[in-house]
């Protein structure tokens, strides 16, 4: 039976695969980058490394992981940790591009620029999340339940203000966050940020 459970060590490959298969504004991102592994190393694996207790997965029939939510209760601290501890390990594999000639370049430039204060939303809403579900479990309430689990974990830490950032092209996600009560924030081109007080 499909259910939500806490993240467990060993889930990482499944989370990376889900991240890749939903990376292109909710569609499969396979082949967009020269190295598909980049998606997971930027958008999901650092979160379970630093905050495994804030990660929850949807486990489907047969024990396969088909969705997740990950995040942090302190965006500025997380971004500084990402810059100091996480990302330097990939400098040889993925050098910083001189300019943005491709989507991979743009993601690498973003990764190299991550640090406290690099995004404005954390000042008012210090927590943030990333959530992804494979198509076969979308539209069944699992996204709402995952965000509920994450929100309860934040409340237990005394954190009640949360933000997230979505691709502006992911119209399904934009509608979903609005339906959950997230309010849109002023955002830069290509993305839409949302925030909520829990």
- The domain containing residue 30 runs over which residues? 3-158
Position 191 in a domain: no
CA 56/CA 99 separation, integer angstroms: 36
Domain count along the chain: 1
Q: Given this model, what pLDDT does residue 86 score?
A: 98
CATH number for 142: 3.40.630.30
pLDDT tens across 83-108, in order?
A: 999 999 999 999 999 999 999 999 99
Position 173 in a domain: no
Position 165 in a domain: no
**Residues paired with residue 197 on neighbouring β-strands, in sequence order:** 161
Position 181 in a domain: no
Position 63 in a domain: yes
Identify the band that residue 124 occupies on the pLDDT scale cut at 50, 70 and 90: very high
Q: What is the pTM of this model?
A: 0.95
pLDDT, average across residues 4-8: 98
**Is the pLDDT assigned to residue 119 strictly greater than 90?**
no
Mean pLDDT of the chain: 96
Position 183 in a domain: no
């Amino acid at each position: 039976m499909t259910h939500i459970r806490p993240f467990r060590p060993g889930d990482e490959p499944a989370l990376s695969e889900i991240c890749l298969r939903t990376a292109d504004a909710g569609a499969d991102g396979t082949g967009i980058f020269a190295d598909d592994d980049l998606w997971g190393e930027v958008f999901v694996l650092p979160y379970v490394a630093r905050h495994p207790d804030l990660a929850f997965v949807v486990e489907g029939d047969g024990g396969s992981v088909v969705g997740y939510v990950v995040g942090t209760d302190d965006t500025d601290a997380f971004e500084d940790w990402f810059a100091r501890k996480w990302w330097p390990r990939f400098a040889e594999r993925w050098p910083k591009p001189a300019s943005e000639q491709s989507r991979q370049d743009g993601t690498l430039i973003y990764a190299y620029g991550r640090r406290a204060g690099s995004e404005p939303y954390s000042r008012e809403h210090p927590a943030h999340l990333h959530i992804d579900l494979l198509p076969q479990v979308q539209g069944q309430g699992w996204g709402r339940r995952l965000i509920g689990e994450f929100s309860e974990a934040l409340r237990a830490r005394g954190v009640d203000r949360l933000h997230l950032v979505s691709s502006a092209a992911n119209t399904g996600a934009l509608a979903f966050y609005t339906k959950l009560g997230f309010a849109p924030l002023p955002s830069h081109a290509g993305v839409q940020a949302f925030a909520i007080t829990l």
